[in-house]
Chain A
Amino acid sequence: MPRLNRLKEIGEYIYLTFTHRRLLLLIIVASSVVPGTFLYLLPLSIRLAYAYFFVSISMLSFFCFSHVFTGPAKQIFGTIIFGGRYKPKVYSTPKVNRLARKMGIAEKTKVYVTTNPWIKGPFTNMITRKVYIPESWLKNFPSKEILSIISHEFGHVKTRGRFSFELLLALGGTIASTLILGFFSNLFIVMVFEFALMMLLVTHISRRNEIRADLEGATGAGPEGLISVFEQLKNEAKRDEGSETHPPLKDRIQRLTKLLEPTQ
Chain B
Amino acid sequence: MHPARFKILQLLRQSKEPLFVEQIAKAVEIHPRMVSHHLDVLEEAKLVESKYELVKVNGSKRGVAVRLCSVTPKTEEVLQDIRESAV
Identify A228's interface contact among B38, B44, B45, CB under 8 A: B38
- Closest chain B residue to A232 by CB distance? B2
Given known contacts A228-B2, A231-B2, A260 and B34 CB-to-CB distance under 8 angstroms: yes
Identify B34's interface contact among A142, A145, A224, A235, CB under 8 A: A224
State how many angstroms separate the Cβ of B29 from the closest Cβ of chain A.
Answer: 13
Identify A142's interface contact among B4, B36, B41, CB under 8 A: B41
The interface of chain A, by Cβ under 8 A from chain B, is 142-145, 222, 224-225, 227-228, 231-232, 235, 257, 260
The main secondary structure of chain A at its interface with chain B is helix
Q: Which 4 A-B pairs have the closest CB atoms?
A: A224-B37, A142-B41, A260-B31, A260-B33
- Closest chain A residue to B42 by CB distance? A142
Set of chain B residues within 8 Å of A224, measured between Cβ atoms: 33-34, 36-37
Interface string of B2-45 (1 = CB under 8 A from A): 11100000000000000000000000000101101110110011
Given known contacts A224-B34, A260-B31, A144 and B2 CB-to-CB distance under 8 angstroms: no
List 10 contacting pairs A-B, 8 Å CB cutoff, sorted by A: A142-B41, A142-B45, A145-B41, A222-B33, A224-B33, A228-B2, A228-B37, A228-B38, A232-B2, A235-B3
Contact A144 B40 (CB under 8 A): yes
Set of chain A residues within 8 Å of B37, measured between Cβ atoms: 144, 222, 224-225, 228
Set of chain B residues within 8 Å of A235, measured between Cβ atoms: 3
Interface positions, chain B 26-79, Cβ under 8 Å from A, are 31, 33-34, 36-38, 40-41, 44-45
Set of chain B residues within 8 Å of A225, measured between Cβ atoms: 37
- Closest chain A residue to B36 by CB distance? A224
Q: How far is the CA of A144 from the CA of B37 in the complex (A)?
A: 9
State how many angstroms separate the Cβ of B26 from the closest Cβ of chain A.
Answer: 16
State how many angstroms separate the Cβ of A90 from the closest Cβ of chain B.
Answer: 23
